């Protein structure tokens, strides 16, 4: 049977990965704004940000999924004992798995659309270190997003396993 400690450990990993992803997204926003402010020599509008990030996935969707998931995971951890007794929550886990799969594919899509490589070479960037750092953060974001997908896959599979185990136990009690 899936242990409570394992499930709680996965939740903690999910929350840590989300916090790292949030920090990287904020860093990416700051780098973008600072880089464009120095190139254009005036404050960058959010319209420029939106146009630029059409190449890098659907950022607003990412932000919404990050916030919703963080709220869900923190709620789940805060009320863990009572939710554990009521579980498994296969629908919720599947919902978040599908959400994060959508985020994962939306961040990969621009790479295939632009036929670009997943490399951050100095020769490819004329704007220097800020652009390379932004590229590396993008790749790190992608890795963390797919790690979160993997974690939600684990929680979905363990929820299915829990449901099967609890149904077997109920059937044994009814027969016995």
pLDDT tens, residue by residue, 31-78: 777 766 555 455 545 555 555 555 555 777 888 999 999 999 999 888
Domain that holds residue 58: 4-166
Distances (CA, A) of 123 to 35, 47, 113, 120, 129: 18, 28, 22, 9, 11
The string of pLDDT tens digits covering residues 112-135 is 666 666 666 666 556 566 667 777
Instruction: Return the number of other C-beta atoms located less than 10 Å from residue 132's C-beta.
Output: 15
Query: Does 176 fall in a domain?
Result: no
Query: Does 115 fall in a domain?
Result: yes
Lowest mean pLDDT among 32-36, 71-75, 103-107, 148-152: 32-36
Cα separation, 37 vs 45, whole angstroms: 9
- Which is nearest to 11 in space by CA: 120, 96, 122, 137? 96
Can you spell out the DSSP letters for 85-127?
HH---HHHHHHHHHHHHHHHHHHHHHHHHHT--S---GGG-TT
Residue 58 backbone class (left: φ over 0; alpha: ψ -120 to 50; beta: rest): beta
Query: Does 173 fall in a domain?
Result: no
Query: Does 175 fall in a domain?
Result: no
Cα separation, 147 vs 145, whole angstroms: 5
Distances (CA, A) of 77 to 13, 71, 144: 11, 10, 20
Cα separation, 86 vs 174, whole angstroms: 19
- Residue 72: its pLDDT value, please? 92
Query: Does 30 fall in a domain?
Result: yes
Whether the CA torsion 117, 100, 23, 11 is positive or negative: it is: negative
Query: Does 43 fall in a domain?
Result: yes
Domain count across the chain: 1
As a whole number of angstroms, the longest Cα–Cα distance in the chain is 78
Mean pLDDT of all residues belonging to the chain: 79
Query: Does 130 fall in a domain?
Result: yes
Name every residue whose Cβ is closer than 8 Å to that of residue 136 and which is 6 or more positions away in sequence: 120
Query: Does 172 fall in a domain?
Result: no
Give pTM, 2 decimals: 0.80
């Amino acid at each position: 049977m899936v242990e409570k400690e394992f499930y709680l450990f996965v939740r903690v990993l999910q929350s840590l990965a989300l916090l790292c992803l949030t920090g990287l997204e904020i860093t990416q926003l700051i780098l973008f704004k600072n880089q464009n402010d120095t190139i254009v020599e005036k404050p960058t509008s959010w319209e420029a940000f939106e146009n630029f990030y059409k190449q890098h996935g659907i950022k607003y969707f990412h932000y919404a999924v990050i916030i919703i998931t963080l709220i869900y995971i923190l709620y789940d951890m805060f009320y863990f004992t009572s939710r554990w007794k009521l579980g498994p929550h296969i629908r919720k886990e599947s919902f978040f798995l599908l959400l994060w799969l959508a985020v994962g594919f939306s961040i990969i899509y621009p790479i295939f659309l632009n036929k670009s490589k997943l490399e951050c070479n100095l020769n490819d960037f004329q704007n220097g270190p800020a652009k390379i750092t932004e590229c590396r953060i993008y790749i790190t974001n992608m890795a963390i997003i797919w790690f979160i997908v993997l974690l939600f896959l684990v929680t979905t599979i363990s929820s299915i396993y829990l449901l099967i185990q609890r149904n077997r136990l109920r059937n044994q009690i009814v027969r016995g």
